[in-house]
Amino acid sequence: MSLVSITPQSRTAGTPAAVASVWFAPGQRTRPPRSCRVDLIVIGARGRVGSALLRQLGRQQGQLREDARLELTLIAAFDRHGFAFDLQGLAPDRLEHSFVPRRNDDAERLLEHVTRPGAPRTLVIDCTASDEIADAYARLLAAGVGVVGANKRANSRCLASYRRLQRTAREHGAPYRYETTVGAAIPLLGPLRDLRLRGESVRCIEGVLSGSLSYILHRLHEGCAFSAAVAEACALGYTEPDPLEDLRATDLVRKLLVLAREAGFPLELEDLHIEPLIECEQTGQRSLPDRLAAHDTAWRERIAAAIARGERLVVVAEATADGGRIGLRAVPAQSPFGQLQPGQNLVLIRTDLQDQTPLTVSGPGAGAEITAAGVLSDVLAAAAQLAGR
């Protein structure tokens, strides 16, 4: 979680806790604006994305204090097993020795602390894939606490829940940012909101939205076995903790729902037609690598047939106001989708003004460092919003 609190020095007469521009008479010495303290609480702090975020934050704290006038102070970090807390501030890149075993009530006591009346302005950073943490979003936003989430679960539940979170954030002036839930650090959700605000209707979204599946299929076309390609993607941190969420398109479904709703399409899960990459039993005595290896021959034959036709296989997600679809598609090898590099995403957005030549957004769609960079961008924007509140 992250908390924006204002240092006593910044509460000088009439001075807002945001960065302000002040004009002085000619010859008068200017006084630089003071920093606004923002207390950060990171959940999932020792996961891949959380760890990368803390390293990046540690490197940038001084520059952000100087250039953005934001005093980003990490006061708490926790995960399922450990908890670190210090109101004076923790060193983001030297946290390991600050963790103590987490008690059952630590998270709840922390939530009570930041949502109490008169609490400092707070920003919560969720680097988990936890339903339990997503359940807390409404409570945090209703208390005016900002939320930055890399967690897709909150916005991919039923449409009513998605709309409730948006409304709660607006009504309480709480920043709610989740750009990295779709496309890692690729700017997709912000541009979609801008299109809608200027009155431009989105007609269709089509794209390769899964960096993990993009990587796996690219490696298959290079001759790698299916099971080995999945293992590589896991080792690189491209997949979800359970790679079956990628292979069954569960993770991609969440991304498409978030993207579609940001485009203004009122879609529910049942409005999507889903074709998983594989059907893989959940139970049995065989290990996951063994179960994946059982698909190696079929995938080798499938890829060879596509190459012989001058095609490549990609997983494409598409949505309109009427529904959506996720599935494997054979595309010309020289097409934009066919030429994607491993782990890359490519999204085409068609609007009423930009239909024949759609808007195109592309870039790396997976990886802890790139995702953490996107989370940090959201943190800076959310902190600035809180500071100006």
CB 168 within 8 A of CB 142: yes
CA 211: distance to chain centroid?
13
Give the CA distances from residue 377 to residues 178, 186, 294, in Å, rounded to whole numbers and listed in that order.
Answer: 10, 11, 42
The string of DSSP letters for 222-266 reads: TT--HHHHHHHHHHTT-S-SSTHHHHTTHHHHHHHHHHHHHTT--
Spatial CA neighbour of 141 closest among 371, 386, 377, 376? 386
CB proximity list for 187: less than 8 A, separation 6 or greater: 179, 361
CB 274 within 8 A of CB 268: no
Among 152, 219, 254, 255, the active-site one is 255
CA dist., res. 223 & res. 230, Å (int): 13
| Known catalytic membership, residue 152 | no
One-letter amino acid of 206: E
Q: Which residues are catalytic?
A: 255
